Structure 1
Amino acid sequence: MPNRKTLLEVLITPVVVAIVGIVGTYLITKQQNEYTKELREVEINKLQEQAVIDRELKIIEIFADKITSGEPNQKVAALQILKVIDGEMAIKLAEVTLKVTNENSIVAESAKDVISSMKSIGNSFPIIISFKSLNDAKKYVRENNKGLKYILTIFLSDNGFYAVTLGGYLSYKEAKIRINYALDNKLSDDAYVKTSTKLGKNLFYD
């Protein structure tokens, strides 16, 4: 009997070792793959964010050059350039220009046009939460997209994060209404409106 037990142990031991090795290798590989995927996502996000920053800085540089010109037409051109950058930044720069400009000038009218356009052309997004990973954003939407007045959507923000929103490409007024809805219904403590022309399509179904 003791000999049989010893023989059985001898026969089983390699199998156990093999199983442990296979499981261990699988877990390590899985962990490495997940880590590599996370690193890849971080790297892609950084590159996307840097590309956006570089583009914005170049446009703002052109704006600064033209807005300081003595020619009203150059200043008007500078303001119109703002319509291709992030809406929030465009509105802020136009508002600053308006404050230091003669109220009845064509430059002031152009600044007002930029502010009005960026708030009403349907490029506002009511953001309630953001994630670094698209999968995490999708999981949040699947778990919370029930019993709401508005459908949750996902857009890749220009900061590299995946923004969960209550719809997109809305007027500024409509986006504010949805933000108030989110706050009143405890969907978020820090929901806010982002105005942008570069958030692309709803990524929930990708």
Structure 2
Amino acid sequence: MPTPTKGKRLGGGASHERLMLANLSAALFEHKRITTTVTKAKRLRPFAERMVTFAKRGDLTSRRRVLAQIRDKSIVHELFTDIASAVEGRDGGYTRITKIGNRKGDNAPMAVIELILDPVSAKQATVAEAETATKSAAPAPVAESADSGDSAESADSPESADSATSADSADEAPAKDETAAAEAPAEAPAVDADAPAAEAPAVDVEKGNEEDEPEKKA
């Protein structure tokens, strides 16, 4: 007979072990807690939690897989309705094992295995929300850094430098034209004002000299 891959086998064979685990899990789902040996409780725990995981999915395929192990339809219905809704906020750890001492008679170590149907505490809910927010916000800085790196590369590239210099020269050209246009009207009136002022005294002086000459001759 082949040996089990992990731990000791319950019962006489593999089929007997499967039936024992199915019956124990059915009793656990019906009564929410059972008392058994520590060895059976440890072997029952992963089996029962797997059935709870199927119940949380809630689809037809999962229900058929559970019905292949647990033949009682009323227990399966309770598992998919009441227990699945009670543990909806948990990601795992649906059972708890508590040792209660040895059994009288054969001195076998005993334990109580029960379902954890309590609601998730506020602290655990806050931690779960914080982890979800951290995971959702993690790609954002990477994208921003990538965009900033692209912008920095584009700014450092020769094409961007040429465009910047051309833009600066284009901005300087209108400024020079405006300053020249502003200075030109200011110089023109100064030239026109000086010309008549210089010519007028010359004409008056000459006329005065011509008028004085006949008097001197006379």
- What TM bracket, shorter-length normalisation? under 0.3
TM-score normalised by the chain length of structure 2: 0.20
Q: Higher RCO, 1 or 2 (CA under 8 Å, sep at least 6)? A: 1
TM-score normalised by the chain length of structure 1: 0.21
More helix by share: 2
Which structure would you say has the larger Rg?
2
